[in-house]
């Protein structure tokens, strides 16, 4: 049996209005007795009906803060036991259109939250969400990576001139910041690398939301980009449960801090993903047009989750078909970003 810490009393979630932050807060409200502070500048997070309902809970306090402003942290206060640092600019479209802001926001916010934690909440434990993008360039650079891919693989920015790698760059340097800052000041924490989390309210810029909306609208001919590429999809309820279990485990309290994959063992091609969504929708296009993936897209991703299983005793619980059905139904009912 894993050695668990006592349930935390006060938890901070940065980027709390975003996809992971929203679902993490919902999970923590049921799995712990903690009070939550959800901080977000709403640049990407949404004040929709679901989030309004969440922050109406008396155990949740929402704070609209710009976390790239060091002065903003004075409003947060003290007494936090767990900090989930999720705030970041994500979304492939943003990588191409505003790489300078991706770099500025993601790196500054991490430095400032660590400075604030060291000064005001030195006994807290922090979880930094990195990304599988941190090692995405290794496959091209070295010709091969082991599959399933362990955490200890070379981290490579394949092309610094390609704006797509702006996000991966912030996650690569973010992992180094976490490791060496924690070592220098004796902070408790961990780095997690999410692998294609999916589910309701995941935004409108990723593959499952985009496919779901196009299928719901019966697009025909139906273009499918990168059909042979593969991913490992992890349903959001399983993902946030893994994050909590890692934070509550004393096995992640040591130095140097741990870097842990969160994902699923199943590898799914984009073509198989589309077929599964066609089946859920009960519809198939008359004409399917296969197109190449965007430049810089990674051919294959499959995480080794042995460390996650060992440190937290975690196993996925939501079958892929069930998670996909829930996600498709949500996007069919929420086709517009403003809803």
Can you give the pLDDT at residue 338? 61
Question: Which residue in 105, 252, 266 sits closest to 182, CA to CA?
Answer: 252
pTM attached to this predicted model = 0.94
Q: Decide if 87 is inside a domain.
A: yes
Q: 126: domain range?
A: 10-198+233-264+302-317
Q: Which residues pair with 64 in a beta bridge?
A: 40
Residue 1 has pLDDT above 50, yes or no: no
> Lowest-confidence range among 5-9, 84-88, 144-148?
5-9
Is residue 217 a part of any domain in this protein?
no
Q: Does residue 55 lie in a domain region?
A: yes
* Residue 209 maps to a domain: no
CA 137 centroid distance within chain: 19
Helices (H), ranges, the chain: 19-31, 49-55, 92-97, 99-120, 136-142, 165-185, 207-216, 236-248, 270-281, 306-312, 320-333
The H or E element containing residue 61 is strand 60-64
**21-74: pLDDT as tens digits:** 999 999 999 999 999 999 999 876 678 999 999 999 999 999 999 999 999 999
Cα dihedral 322→324→329→333 (10° resolution): 150
CATH number, position 70: 3.40.50.720
Cβ neighbours, 10 Å, residue 221: 10
- The number of folded domains in the chain is 1
CA dihedral 297, 303, 307, 310 (to 10 degrees): 140
Domain membership of residue 272 (yes or no) is no
170 lies in a domain? yes
User: Using one digit for the tens of pLDDT, what is the confidence trace for 124-148?
Assistant: 999 999 998 887 777 667 767 888 9
pLDDT digits (tens, 9 = 90+) for 99-130: 999 999 999 999 999 999 999 999 999 999 99
The rounded percent of the chain whose pLDDT value lies above 90 is 81
Residue 95 lies in a domain: yes
Is 293 contained in some domain?
Answer: no
pLDDT band at 194 (very low <50, low <70, confident <90, very high): very high
- Quick one: pLDDT at residue 8? 54
Give the strand pairing for 258-262 and 222-225. unpaired
Distance separating alpha carbons of residues 95 and 164, to the nearest angstrom: 5
* Residue 176 CB neighbour total at 10 angstroms: 11
pLDDT(94) > 90: no
| DSSP symbols for 241-277 | HHHHHHHHBGGGSSSSPEEEEE--S--EEHHHHHHHH
């Amino acid at each position: 049996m894993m050695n668990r810490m006592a349930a935390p009393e006060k938890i901070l979630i940065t980027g709390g209005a975003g996809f992971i932050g929203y679902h993490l807060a919902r999970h923590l409200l049921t799995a712990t007795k903690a009070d939550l502070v959800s901080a977000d500048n709403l640049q990407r997070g949404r004040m929709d009906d679901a989030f309004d309902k969440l922050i109406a809970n008396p155990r949740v306090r929402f704070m609209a803060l710009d976390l790239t402003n060091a002065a903003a942290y004075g409003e947060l206060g003290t007494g936090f036991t767990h900090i989930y640092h999720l705030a970041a600019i994500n979304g492939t479209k943003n990588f191409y259109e505003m790489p300078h802001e991706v770099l500025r926001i993601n790196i500054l916010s991490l430095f400032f939250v660590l400075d604030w934690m060291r000064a005001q909440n030195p006994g807290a434990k922090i979880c930094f969400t990195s990304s599988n993008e941190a090692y995405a360039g290794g496959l091209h650079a070295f010709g091969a990576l082991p599959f399933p891919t362990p955490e200890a693989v070379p981290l490579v920015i394949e092309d610094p001139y390609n704006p797509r790698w702006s996000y991966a760059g912030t996650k690569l340097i973010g992992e180094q910041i976490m490791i060496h800052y924690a070592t220098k000041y004796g902070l408790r924490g961990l780095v997690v690398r999410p692998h294609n989390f999916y589910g309701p309210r995941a935004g409108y810029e990723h593959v499952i939301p985009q496919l779901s909306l196009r299928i719901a609208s019966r697009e025909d001919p139906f273009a499918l980009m990168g059909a042979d590429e593969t991913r490992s999809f992890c349903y959001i309820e399983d993902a946030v449960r893994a994050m909590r279990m890692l934070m509550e485990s004393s096995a992640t309290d040591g130095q140097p801090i741990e870097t842990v994959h969160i994902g699923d063992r199943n590898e799914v091609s984009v073509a198989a993903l589309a077929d599964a969504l066609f089946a859920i929708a009960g519809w198939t296009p008359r004409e399917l047009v296969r197109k190449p993936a965007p430049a810089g897209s990674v051919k294959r991703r499959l995480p080794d989750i042995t460390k996650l299983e060992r440190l937290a005793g975690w196993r996925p619980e939501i079958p892929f078909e069930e998670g996909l059905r829930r996600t498709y139904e949500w996007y069919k009912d929420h086709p517009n970003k403003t809803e």
